[in-house]
Structures are given as C-alpha cells and as structure tokens.
Amino acid sequence: MGTIVQKYGGTSVDGREKLLSVAKNVAALRSAGNDVVVVVSAPGLMTDGLIRDAHALAESPSQRELDMLMTAGERVSMSLLSIALNAMGCPAVSFTGSQVGIITDTRHTDARILEVRPFRVIQELAQGNVVVVGGFQGVSTAKDVTTLGRGGSDTTAVVLAAALGAERCEILTDVAGVYTADPNLVPASRLLEVVSYEDMHELARLGASVLKEDAVTFAERHGIKLIVKASGSDTQGTIVLSEPLGPTAPITGLSLHRDAFLARWRVGGDGGVGIPRLDGNVRPLFTVSTGGEVLVALDETGSRAVRHPTHEPAELQEVALLCAVGPGAGTAETVAAAAGAITEAGGTPLVVCAGCRSIVLALERNGSTDMLRSLHALFFEAPGGQVSGGRGA
C-alpha cells in the first residue's frame, strides 16, 4: 500500500483525550497496511503563548531565538503522540524538521524551504514504524533551526508528501473542510466538495486560515492530492485539485483578512516621493495606483518591514480585506454587485482591487465580519443564485 501523510492541527492534539483519539486514527490507518507519516502542530494556542513569553522579556526578541522557542511547541505534540502510539502497540518514532531533512533559507520566523531530504523517514517507514514529524520547522543552510511562518505545519505535510511520493496528503482540522466562507464567522456558509488549487491558493493568500498558502503552492507544483477534513470524523471533506471539468460557479468562496494594512505613498509631483521600493521579502496582497498615490495592501509582516526606518516612509492604515475568489470574481458585474452590497450594508469600500480571479475590498476592520456575511448572502444565499448551479462551489 502507499504512503499517506496526515497533518493534525493544534486543536486536534490539545490534551490527553484528543491525542489518544489521534493516536487511534493513526494506528488504524497503519493496521490497514499503509505507511503513515503524521505531521503535528503545537497543542492549542501554545505557539501564541511562547511568542507572548518572548515579548514579555524583550521588545523585539532575536528572530533566531524566537525560532528556537516556537519549535518547542511542535516537539511537545510529536513526542507525546509517539509515546501514545507506542503505548498502544503501534511502533512510532518522532522527528524534528531538521531530522527529516527540511532545509530552508536563513530567514528566521518565515523561512522558505529549499530542499527536502527525507532519508530517515524512508528508513523508519521501511522498518514498519509510523513517523511523527514536528510541523512548521526546518534547519537553515547556516545550520540554525527555522520556522516556516504561522500555520506552517500544512507546508511541512505537503513537502513531505511530495518528497515521499505519497498517495495523498490529508489536513485534519477542527472544521469539516473548506467552506464558502469561514464557518466560524458565517453560519450560512457551505462545505465545498472540491476546490481548484488556483482558487484555494488565492483564498489562502487573502486570509482564509484553513490552509497555508505555501502548502497549496507546493501541492499544485507537485500534483499532490490534498484533502482537508475534520479530524475524528468520517466525513469526506474537501479535495483540492486541478481545475475540475464541467460547469463551475462564478464565485468559489470568500475570505476575510482582519489584520491587514494599507500602505500609502504619494508619488511624483510637489512634495511627492519616488516609487517606493519594497523590501524583496515583502509580499504585497495587492497594489493599486490612483491619483498620484500608490496603495499597497500588506499583512502584519509586510507592515513591519515598511515601518522599518530604512524604508521610504508610508502612511499606514489598519484595514480588513474582504475577498471573493472564483472564475467570475473579477468581472465588472461582480465588482459592481460586491461594492453595492457593502455600501448597502453600511460599509465603505476604501479601495476595490479586481484581478482576473479575485476581487478584494479594503474596509474598516470594525464591522468587517458583518460585511463578510452580507457578501456571502449576495453570492451564496440569493434565491435562484449560483447556489443551485455548477459544482456546488
């Protein structure tokens, strides 16, 4: 039988009962004859707690030491799970990212993976062991421990699946899969049976936390069959794959990025500055230019880079980004309908940016969840709307 990579998120490994239930699932998968690699996140909100501890000691802690600290959370989960599996009679061994050969660049707290050399995983699987891997971490070309950015355990799972030629990669989480919008914010949201890599990538990039953007990029590049589903349930979840054949709904789903920033530079003219040069590591969520201004939407990391004194000073505004993604998201009709729905709900789109497969509205953070619900009602709850057609997306 083939190799299956499973990733369990923080809520699934938070406490004895949950760990035991994960261990039972894993042992059953192993007993069915599969080679099993399990990637785990830190329990619950442990990573947040560790970051808080560091900031209680220093205003800007060393990024290297932060990585050292944060990887401790995943070590707790991986060793406990391995202990539970062995106690159940299912032989297992746990490894750090470094031990399974995840080699990254030297960008602490947000490192990129350069190479994966999973020799020890292959050896242990061949000996019949379940391999438990601490997610979210690697080792840099300078031999220091690195982390892959918040939510990076998804990336660990997908790169290992690719390096091992796994049959599939399952992301087991606290929701039943990918929804038309975050089900914790939009009670009327619906589970998607399938999502294309392209739409999933855009949703993740623009704030959907169910999957990490880099993980989707790797999955697409290596053709990994990615399944997102609830841990401890038999439901089918969501399959992320290449664009499915057949009819598709114009809008696949919505995301909300509640911690975004708009950086504003005046360019040219009297008192204006030159074209802002963004640090090469900053990934803008979108860029638009209008009336002598350049506006760049950034996440927290990007905004920190822009605040750095070496940067061309920008006016920074806290915003939320509300996004609709899908094959018909960038049409003039969709843009007008979305902006209209937001205005009608009492919101003010500060900037609207439409791409060929997405539309992003920058809004005040306050009240942005209500705006998400209004947009969901427009696209997914209208009688006779796209809800009834297409692939159910």
Contact of residue 150 among ligand ASP, Mg ion, none (CB under 5-8 Å per partner type): ligand ASP
What x-and-dash track marks residues 254-283 binding ligand ASP by CB under 6 A? Answer: ------------------------------
Q: What values do phi and psi take at 98, rounded to 5?
A: -60, -45
Q: Which does 250 bind (CB under 5 to 8 A by kind): Mg ion, ligand ASP, none?
A: none
Q: Which residues of 320-357 are buried (b: 16+ CB within 10 A; e: fewer)?
A: bbbbbbbbbbbeeebbebbbebbeeeebebebbbbeeb
In sequence order, what DSSP letters do the residues of 175-222 get, joined into one string?
SSS-BSS-TTT-TT--B-SEEEHHHHHHHHHTT-TTS-HHHHHHHHHH
Show contacts with Mg ion in window 144-163 (CB under 5 A).
151
Piece in contact with ligand ASP (CB under 6 A), picked from 21-29, 86-94, 144-152, 354-362: 144-152
CA distances from 175 to 44, 47, 347 (A): 15, 20, 29
Residues 278 and 296 sit within 8 Å (Cβ to Cβ)? yes
Binding pattern for the stretch 2-41 against ligand ASP, x by CB under 6 A and - elsewhere: --------x------------------------------x
73 near ligand ASP, rule: CB under 6 A = yes
Residues written for the chain: 393
Give CA–CA dist 228/211, Å, rounded: 8
Residue closer to ligand ASP by CB (options 37, 194) is 37
Q: Binding of ligand ASP at residue 153 (CB under 6 A)? A: yes
CA neighbor of 137 nearest in space, from 53, 54, 78, 93: 78
Contact with ligand ASP (CB under 6 A): which of 101, 134, 135, 177? 135
Minimal distance in Å, beta carbon 38 to ligand ASP?
A: 14
Give the residue from 390, 378, 389 showing the smallest Cα distance to 181: 378
Task: Pick one of ligand ASP, Mg ion, none as the site partner of residue 47 (Cβ within 5 to 8 A by kind).
Answer: ligand ASP
Residue nearest to Mg ion (CB): 151
Binding to ligand ASP by residue 152, rule CB under 6 A?
Answer: yes
Distances (CA, A) of 265 to 206, 285, 291, 315: 22, 16, 11, 7
Nearer to ligand ASP, 43 or 276 (CB): 43
Specify the stretch interacting with ligand ASP by CB under 6 A; choose among 98-106, 148-156, 246-254, 334-342.
148-156
CB of 209 to Mg ion, least distance (A): 6
**Gap between the Cα atoms of 133 and 214, Å rounded:** 18
Smallest gap from Cβ 381 to Mg ion, in A, equals 27
Check residue 150 for interaction with ligand ASP (CB under 6 A). Answer: yes
Binding site for ligand ASP (CB under 6 A): 10, 41-42, 47, 73, 135-136, 150-153
